[in-house]
Structure 1
Amino acid sequence: MDLDVRRLRVLYEVALRGGITAAAASLHVTPSAVSQQLGQLAREAGCELVERSGRGVVLTPAGYVLAEHAKQIINAVEQAQAGLAALRRDVSGVVRVGAFPSAAGVLVAPAAARAIARHPDLDVRVVEAEDQQSRLDLRSGTLDVILLQEYDHVPTPLPSDLDRHPVANDPMHLITPVGWGRRSGRLGDLRDARWVASAEGTPCLRSTLHACRLAGFEPDIRHRAVDFALTLDLVGAGLGAALVPGMALRTVPPTVHVEPLVDPVTERRIFAVTRSRGAGPLRPAIAAFLAELAASESR
């Protein structure tokens, strides 16, 4: 039984993404092409790997077994390539980086520029990506590095097949309309204020709620905004106060007052994530970018 590694990657994408259509989008091919590859792999394996379920497909027990082995094979190939590149000390090739907007602008873009200047054969490509999608893209190999965030009291656990690389700490700031005149940096002074906060289920919202509760009150949230630029505009219009990380404060409207949060002190931590390298080295191109990224906070 000879199994094609490229077809194993297709099966792994279907398992990871939860269906043929999503896998096809990730692989930049048509759904029919994915179906054809799965059919050929099934013939090679001698058993059915997917079966119909409603309007889509699900993996069969054999499909799940083979997808798990496919993941291990893909990782082994990548580690072999990294080991050979490390022997050559070859800092070249493409590194694809996914990051959420505030980190992409403040950390990733300058680090990418420095890495390229230091290593002319290196090609760093940046994609704006939110947490859940970027994790899938990292595990599938579409991205090589992603940036994630976690707030105080809202940890971001990682599975064992991903490695964490600390990058920066980003203190939270209290922003209020200029006309309010409340500038102590203490949440307790705003217990009777209106608030602007992030959407339900987001780490930023959970961090805001926890900080306010530490200060002894439940915030009166009147407005919701995921985009920090919109949060600043809502606060600037006099509609409420908000907690915002420092990296989101590069452009502040003149109608917004910014104060470091001093009670309770709260921050978010930003870290890079790569696929686990096991006992082997990182690909030199990825290591070179991470080195520049780690140097960002000291600049």
Structure 2
Amino acid sequence: MDLDVRRLRVLYEVALRGGITAAASSLHVTPSAVSQQLGQLAREAGCELVERSGRGVVLTPAGHVLADHAKQIISAVEQAGAGLAALRRDVSGTVRVGAFPSAAGALVAPAAARAIARHPDLDVRVFEAEDQQSRLDLRSGRLDVIVLQEYDHVPTPLPPDLDRRPIASDPMHLITPAGWGSRSGRLDDLRDARWVASAEGTPCLHSTLHACRLAGFEPDIRHRAVDFALTLDLVGAGLGAALVPEMALRGVPSTVHVEPLTDPVTERRIFAVTRGRGTGPLRPAMEAFLAELTASASAPGPRPA
């Protein structure tokens, strides 16, 4: 039985994304092209790999078995390439990095610039990506490194096939309209205030709610903002108080007063994630970028983890 590795990657993408259309979008091909590759792979394997379910497809039992093996084969090929690159000590090639906006600006961009300056044959490419999407892109091989966040009391579990590397701790700050005057950094002083918070279901909202509840009250949330820049603008307009991580406090309007949160103290942790190495090495190119990313966290701003 001869199985084409490229077609195995297509099958794994379908399994990971949950359908042909999503896999096609990730692979930048048409759904019909994905279907053709799956059909050819089914002929090579001698059994059906997908079947119709409603308006989409699902993997057959044989498809699930082959997708699991495809994941292992893709990983083995990647580790073989990493091993050869490590022997050559070759800091070259492309490293694709996904990160959420505040980390992309404060940590990833300067790390990428330094890595490229230090290693002229290295090409680091930065992509803004929210956490859930970036995890899928990492596991599929579309990204090589992703940067994730984890707030106090809101853990971020990872599947066993991903490796985690701590980068920085990012303390939360209390921001209030400048017209409200100075504050002590204690949340219980603001139990009767209006609040600006993130959207439902986000870790930032859970962190804000938990901190306020630790201080003994339920916040009166009047406004919602996922973008920290909008949060700063809403607070600057006098519409409420908010909790914002230090890394997001760039370009703070003069109408916003900022104080470290002193009671309760809370933070978010920033960490880099790569595909599991097993017993194999990371490519020297990825190690070079991760070294610069750790150095970025040592600069003024977020505290090293």
Task: Note the alpha carbon deviations across 1:219-265, whole angstroms, 9 max, x for none.
Answer: 11111111101111111111100000011110111111011111111
Task: Tell me what 1:147 maps to.
Answer: 147
Task: Note the alpha carbon deviations across 1:127-176, whole angstroms, 9 max, x for none.
Answer: 00000000000000000000000011111111110000111111100000
Give secondary structure in 1 for the equivalent of 2:16: helix
- Comparing 252-261 with 37-46, greater Cα deviation is found at 252-261
Task: Note the alpha carbon deviations across 1:64-97, whole angstroms, 9 max, x for none.
Answer: 1100000000000000000000000000000000
8 Å CA contact 1:91, 1:288 repeated in 2 = yes
> Offset at 1:297?
1.9
**Mapped partners of 2:217, 2:224: distance in 1:** 19
**Mapped partners of 2:281, 2:224: distance in 1:** 43
TM-score by length of 1: 0.99
Task: Tell me what 1:208 maps to.
Answer: 208
Task: Note the alpha carbon deviations across 1:97-131, whole angstroms, 9 max, x for none.
Answer: 00000000000000000000111000000000000
8 Å CA contact 2:185, 2:262 repeated in 1 = yes
**Mapped partners of 1:120, 1:182: distance in 2:** 49
Give secondary structure in 1 for the equivalent of 2:51: strand
**Mapped partners of 2:31, 2:99: distance in 1:** 28
8 Å CA contact 1:148, 1:272 repeated in 2 = yes
**Mapped partners of 1:93, 1:232: distance in 2:** 39
Give secondary structure in 2 for the equivalent of 1:282: coil
Counterpart mapping for 1:141-290 below 5 A: 141-290=141-290
Give secondary structure in 2 for the equivalent of 1:12: helix
Task: Note the alpha carbon deviations across 1:8-40, whole angstroms, 9 max, x for none.
Answer: 000000000011111011111111110000000
8 Å CA contact 1:115, 1:289 repeated in 2 = yes
> Offset at 1:296?
1.3
**Mapped partners of 1:157, 1:95: distance in 2:** 24
- Identity score, percent: 91
**Mapped partners of 1:64, 1:106: distance in 2:** 40
> Offset at 1:295?
1.1
Matched residue count: 298
**Mapped partners of 2:179, 2:131: distance in 1:** 36
Task: Note the alpha carbon deviations across 1:195-224, whole angstroms, 9 max, x for none.
Answer: 000011110000001111111111111111
Task: Note the alpha carbon deviations across 1:259-294, whole angstroms, 9 max, x for none.
Answer: 111111111000000000001110110010000001
**Mapped partners of 2:265, 2:297: distance in 1:** 19
8 Å CA contact 1:47, 1:62 repeated in 2 = yes
**Mapped partners of 2:94, 2:28: distance in 1:** 18
User: Which runs of 5 or more residues in structure 2 are unaligned?
Assistant: 299-305
**Mapped partners of 1:91, 1:21: distance in 2:** 36
Task: Note the alpha carbon deviations across 1:37-75, whole angstroms, 9 max, x for none.
Answer: 000000000000001111111101100110000000000
8 Å CA contact 1:99, 1:148 repeated in 2 = yes
> Offset at 1:183?
1.3
Give secondary structure in 2 for the equivalent of 1:295: helix
**Mapped partners of 1:257, 1:100: distance in 2:** 25
**Mapped partners of 1:6, 1:77: distance in 2:** 11
Task: Tell me what 1:20 maps to.
Answer: 20
8 Å CA contact 1:50, 1:57 repeated in 2 = yes
Q: Structure 1 segments of 4 or more deviating over 3 A?
A: none
**Mapped partners of 1:213, 1:251: distance in 2:** 29
> Offset at 1:6?
0.4
8 Å CA contact 2:182, 2:257 repeated in 1 = no
> Offset at 1:182?
4.2
**Mapped partners of 2:110, 2:160: distance in 1:** 30
**Mapped partners of 2:238, 2:276: distance in 1:** 47
8 Å CA contact 1:182, 1:189 repeated in 2 = no
User: Which runs of 5 or more residues in structure 1 are unaligned?
Assistant: none
- CA-based RMSD of the aligned residues comes to 0.6
